[in-house]
Amino acid sequence: MFIEVLKSKIHRVKITQAELHYVGSISIDEDLMDAANIVENEKVQIVNINNGERLETYVIKGERGSGQICLNGPAARKAQVGDVIIVISYCSIDAAEAKAHKPVLIFPSENNKLS
Active site residue 58: yes
Q: Which of 8, 22, 25, 109 is catalytic?
A: 25
Instruction: DSSP for 6-44, please give it.
Output: EEEEEEEEE--EEESSS-SEEEEEHHHHHHHT--TT-EE
Active site residue 89: no
32 touches 111 (CB < 8 A): no
86 touches 8 (CB < 8 A): no
Residues recognised as catalytic: 25, 58
